[in-house]
Amino acid sequence: MTEKETIVVIGAGILGLTTALHLQSNLSPQQTILLCAREFPHSPESLNYASAWAGAHFRPVLSSNPALAREDTQAQRTYTHFTRLAAQEPGSGVQSLPGIEYLESPPAEYLDAENIQKAYGYLDGFQQLQGEDLPKDVKWGAKYTTFAVNPPVYCAWLLRQFVLRGGETREYTVVDLREGFYLAEGKRVRTVVNCSGLGMGDKRAFIIKGQTCLVRNPCSVTITRQNSDGSWSFCIPRPLGGGTIVGGTKQPHNWDPNPSLETRAKLLANAAKWFPFEEGSEKKFDVIRDIVGRRPAREGGIRIDAEKLSDDRGVIVHAYGAGGRGFELSWGIAEDVFNLMRENGLVREKASL
């Protein structure tokens, strides 16, 4: 009889949770998953657990280099998966709804029809807006079917699915990735999947501080608006009564954990110009809280590769550094991790019926 083996996934943010669940769904009974992390969806609040602080919504990004081209394929596959979740799992916190973009000063790549078709063409209902459909001062616009996610609900749902299907968890602060080979309490481990966000020691990894504002004002669409000065503003409703996110900022290498009242005022003032307030309201935001999170980014883009240790202990499969696109790329990244592990002979797939 073949010895059972445990695959250890380090990190329980959006990439760790999604990867653990996807691996679990495709493995034979001879392999099990241990999800090990310092913080889980039920853990005390920490701005380093970036997934809980995300918007989060699905929005394409135009490809301008090989890393973004890979992200584009990951995004398309994630979009397909979110389509199924929104239709079949309403309790997951993923909801299908209209998405609108308005750009006052569009970059040159947005004026190339081929670029737009490649980035947006697969979206249900995609339509580029023209003429009277564009607000004053807007030079480029589009609408399509997108998804909004309630991150605390969705992350808890992913973890629940993983546990209900037999996955094991362990709260543990990993100091070195090599620890992963010893965390399964005597069980055989030859693969550790590194979904730690910042990669644990990767000098190319860095944080991007983001600040948004959670408000009670309801909204039935996501709106992304680029202002004439190049700054961005957006609103994203959180499904299942989670309020609406108004944002946002991106500040690389900023370790200040505190929200800025000045930033809050600017975010709300920008959004007040176009936010779809309810008719009869005073057109003011009812603020619940300021949100600060640290997006785990990486120079050169996401790292997905397999590293064989020199002592033959096993293989570390890396999957981290998604920055602010973790939700948008999550299922595509999880599939890429599984395919990479299959190519390296690290997974035993379920038998086909």
Binding-site residues? 174, 295, 324
Cis bond before residue 56 (omega within 30° of 0): yes
Q: Which helix (H) or strand (E) holds 247?
A: strand 244-247
Contact 275/219 with Cβ under 8 angstroms?
yes
Q: Backbone phi, then psi, for 316, in 5-degree steps?
A: -105, 125
C-alpha Rg value of the chain to the nearest Å: 21
Which residues, at least 6 apart from 298, have a Cβ–Cβ distance to it below 8 Å? 198, 199, 202, 204, 205, 206, 320, 321, 323
Which residues, at least 6 apart from 339, have a Cβ–Cβ distance to it below 8 Å? none
Binding residues for D-dopa: 295, 324
Could you give the residue ranges of the DSSP H alpha helices within 127-237?
151-164
DSSP, residue by residue, 262-292: HHHHHHHHHHHTT--PPTTS-S---EEEEEE
Contact 212/248 with Cβ under 8 angstroms?
yes
Binding residues for FAD: 174
Q: Quick one: 268 exposed, middle or buried, by C-beta within 10 A (0-12, 13-18, 19+)?
A: middle
Q: Determine the angle formed by the axes of helices 326-343 and 66-88, rounding to 10 degrees.
A: 110
